[in-house]
Amino acid sequence: MSSAYRVREALVDEDREACFAVRREVFVVEQGVPQELEYDTYDATAVHVLAVREDGLPLGTGRLLLGADAVGKTGADASVGSLGRLAVSRAARGLGVGAALVRGIEDVARERGLTAVDLHAQTHALGFYERLGYEAYGPEFPDADMPHRAMRRAL
């Protein structure tokens, strides 16, 4: 597989559908997350980011919740965004797509005037986010029957 790809905000319906397809592949099929938990009302208002290969093949996605949508996940701080639903297709893992998506989401957060980004990481992914500057806080908790920790990075 070619390692050339770019990350962009998913602004058109086709891009958003590509984001949902990657999430379905990773979370619903691979990890067994029930589809009704994977897709939620936040999808309509979130900023979605998409990584695509040169030929248009979607490789990964993530989303950023802002304002009222984020405050329940960020300790009620409206200046903090909530990064979530980060997913990279199996074929694209190891190419740096996940890190590029996180940086793309952080860029969107900065553009919208946020001071930090929070996320809820599956515990097996803590090291990945720590390498990107995120710090864990609070106790471990279950989400979709998988252990998670809250993490934050100041922008």
Q: What percent of the chain has pLDDT over 90?
A: 79
Mean predicted confidence (pLDDT) in 54-72:
92
Task: Give dist(CA 46, CA 6) in Å, integer.
Answer: 20
Extract the tokens encoding 78: 């409206």
- Dump pLDDT digits (tens) for 105-139: 999 999 999 999 999 998 999 999 999 999 999 99
Q: What is the pTM of this model?
A: 0.91
Bridge pairing between strands 116-122 and 80-88: parallel
- Nearest Cα to 153, choosing from 137, 133, 139? 133
CB 90 within 8 A of CB 30: yes
- Nearest Cα to 61, choosing from 52, 74, 72, 70? 52
Instruction: Please give the mean pLDDT across all residues of the chain.
Output: 92
Task: Give the range among 75-79, 124-128, 149-153 with minimum mean pLDDT.
Answer: 75-79
